[in-house]
Amino acid sequence: MKVRFHGLLLLLLMPLVPCCHHGVQGASGGRKTTVTVAGSTSVMPFSEKLAEHFKIERPRITVDVQGGGSSAGIQACINRTVEIGMSSRELKGDEKILRQIVICHDGIAVVVHPRNPIRDITLEQVRAVYGGKIRNWKALGWIDRNIDAVTREEGSGTRGAFEELAMRKTDIDDSTMVQDSNGSVKEVVATDPYAIGYLSLGVVDAKVRALSVGGVSPTVKNIKTGKYRMVRPFLYLTMGEPGETARLFIAYVLSKEGQGILKKEGLIPVNE
């Protein structure tokens, strides 16, 4: 809900946000400045965390983090409505005019209810479940019970990455349930013992169990060594050269401290 609300708010505010956020005179001059960051709801919570810590270091700079989704963030960045866009999927087509900075990588975990005895699933099985070919847990070696598969809504960055990494050319079946945020997918899987879903690895916690895919569990180590394949980049985007304040924030995110924060959140830092 929060996510949707942010999206709406972003749409409503877009024309109102003045484009003079490029606070070149800021930072050094000691004036208060604001950097607006908007986009992917998968990246948003981590950006918020980074913004909090950044605030301690540079009290005069406020980093304003908003959601809206990858696509909205990319558009807003192209229109220069926000200074930094966030995306949890690769840029395509016209969007490539943006400068992209990989701030970290995120695994996509296939999750089930903690009571589910299944520990491992192959990529083919994931594809079959979401493609509608396997509908019963029996086919995966458990009881005779329908699989309640949950997916994300069309346009979501996590869904886009999942389609690309796991589904390839297969379409997600129409009878699959749809939830509109990582949080609500997690909630469904945490309460329904027969559910299966996929989540950003950063939000997986004890309420759900992440399956290993083809024998490889989604750990930071396995992702870094390239064994776990369902990985996507988290991107910061700017239209041309970022302004002074935006540059400071991006530098902070890429610094040892910023990367440490992301690592603590379960994400995979870059350039270590």
Partner 1 sequence: MNRRFINKDALIRLVLLLFALSSLLFLFTIFVFILSEGLPLFYKAGVSSITLGMKWAPTKGYFGIFPMIVSSFMVTFGALVVGAPLALACATYLSEYAGKKTKIFLKPSLELLAGIPSVVYGFLGVVYIVPLIREYTGGSGFSILATSLVLGIMVLPTITSISFDSLMSVPAAFREGSLAMGATKWQTVYRVVLPAARSGILASFILGMGRAIGETMAVIMVAGNALKIPTSLLDPLRTLTSNIALELAYATDDHRSALFSTGVVLLVIIMSLNLLANFWVKRRVSR
Cα 265 to Cα 16, 98, 135, 162, distances in angstroms = 33, 27, 34, 21
Smallest distance from the beta carbon of 75 to partner 1, in angstroms?
Answer: 6
Which position has the token pair 């989704």?
Answer: 69
Q: Which is nearer to partner 1, 62 or 136 (CB)?
A: 136
Smallest gap from Cβ 7 to partner 1, in A, equals 3
**Spatial contact of 265 and 202, defined as CB atoms under 8 Å apart:** yes
**Shortest approach of partner 1 to residue 210 CB, angstroms?**
20
Task: Quote the tokens at residue 79.
Answer: 């229109």
- Residue among 95 and 244 whose Cβ is closer to partner 1: 95
Instruction: Count the Cβ atoms, other than its own, within 10 Å of residue 92.
Output: 9
In the complex, what is the shortest distance from the CB of residue 178 to partner 1, in angstroms, rounded to a whole number?
4
| Positions that interact with partner 1 (CB under 8 A) | 1, 3-4, 6-8, 41, 67-72, 75, 145-146, 148, 153-157, 171, 173-180, 187-188, 191-192, 194-195
Closest CB to partner 1 among residues 33, 176: 176
Q: CA-CA distance, 122 to 85, in Å (whole number)?
A: 34
Residue number, 71 or 222, with CB nearest to partner 1? 71
Backbone φ and ψ of 172, nearest 5°: -70, 130
Closer CB to partner 1, 124 or 171, in the complex:
171
What is the b/e burial string over 189-212, where b = at least 16 CB atoms within 10 angstroms of the residue's CB? bbeeebbbbbbbbbbbeeebbbbb
- Pick between residue 175 and residue 271 the one whose CB is nearest to partner 1: 175
Backbone angles phi, psi at 97, to 5 degrees: -70, -15
